[in-house]
Chain A
Amino acid sequence: QVQLQLSGPGLVKPSQTLSLTCAISGDSVSTDISAWNWVRQSPSRGLEWLGRTYYMSKWYIDYGVSVKGRATIHPDTSKNQFSLQVNSVTPDDTAVYYCARWAHHPRYFDYWGQGRLIIVSS
């Protein structure tokens, strides 16, 4: 059974960096049949895909439109986890953040972490 455990500060000040980590159990971040994703949810923006990392002979990282240029996703094979950093946050980045596993075939999110509310406020 795959489990995803999300951790990180729940409150971030505007202009600072949001940092989250998703620890994986029951699977490997280096598997070539899945990708490891970040998704967030807010009343104003709904469900929003932020990006993913996956290994297929080499590491790939993709970013969503709203955080491209501000975000960094990093796989950590030594700890079997992956992380998200978003720089220069604003109150618009306030949301519930999820990590989720994506199965390349047949192309769906099959496991989600529990979700963590991140508030951007001074």
Chain B
Amino acid sequence: EIVMTQSPLSLTVTPGESASISCRSSQSLLFSNGSKCLNWYLQKPGQSPQLLIYLGSSRASGVPDRFSGSGSATDFTLKVSEVEAEDAGVYYCMQSLHTPLTFGGGTKVEIK
């Protein structure tokens, strides 16, 4: 089973500032074609998770370009530029390379 480790556990951000979340996998998430099998989700209070980023750096439909993903085979970063109040919630990374599919423990983002 691939273990996903996120940091920090939580952070508080002022509107207009940037936030970065890290995610590390216990093994390489590179697919045979070179794609990075890492997704990012945001779960707002009382809601189901929603897809933000897939394949490491591709934004899902309707996701603002303030959200960006990057990374290597095992280390990934989600950056939120110019944070807005609506960005509050818990962010999760998830590896999509092998079953069992596994998630990071989550990073709670609060907006001042």
Answer yes or no: are A and B bound together in one complex. yes
Inter-chain contact B48/A114, CB cutoff 8 Å: yes
Question: At the interface, yes or no: B54 with Cβ under 8 Å from chain A?
Answer: yes
Question: At the interface, yes or no: B35 with Cβ under 8 Å from chain A?
Answer: yes
Main secondary structure, interface of A, reads strand
B37 (CB) vs chain A CBs: closest residue: A107
Inter-chain contact B51/A109, CB cutoff 8 Å: yes
Name the B residues within 8 Å of A48 (CB-CB): 103
Would you give the 0/1 interface string for B42-56, flagging 1 where the beta carbon is closer than 8 Å to chain A? Answer: 000000111100110
- CB of B76, distance to nearest CB on chain A (Å): 14
Given known A49-B102, A64-B100, contact A107–B49 (CB-CB < 8 A):
no
Main secondary structure, interface of B, reads loop
Question: At the interface, yes or no: B85 with Cβ under 8 Å from chain A?
Answer: no
Inter-chain contact A108/B48, CB cutoff 8 Å: no
Inter-chain contact A115/B101, CB cutoff 8 Å: no
Inter-chain contact B105/A46, CB cutoff 8 Å: yes
Question: At the interface, yes or no: B92 with Cβ under 8 Å from chain A?
Answer: yes
> Of the candidates A47, A52, A110, A113, which one forms a contact with B51 in the assembled complex, judged by CB atoms under 8 Å apart?
A110
Question: At the interface, yes or no: A112 with Cβ under 8 Å from chain B?
Answer: yes
Question: At the interface, yes or no: A106 with Cβ under 8 Å from chain B?
Answer: yes
Name the A residues within 8 Å of B102 (CB-CB): 49
> Of the candidates B55, B96, B106, which one forms a contact with A46 in the assembled complex, judged by CB atoms under 8 Å apart?
B106
Would you give the 0/1 interface string for B73-112, flagging 1 where the beta carbon is closer than 8 Å to chain A? Answer: 0000000000000000000101011011111011000000
Would you give the 0/1 interface string for A77-108, flagging 1 where the beta carbon is closer than 8 Å to chain B? Answer: 00000000000000000000010100000111
**B-contacting residues of A (Cβ < 8 Å)?**
37, 46-49, 52, 62, 64-65, 98, 100, 106-110, 112-115
Closest 4 CB pairs of A and B: A112-B48, A47-B103, A107-B96, A49-B101
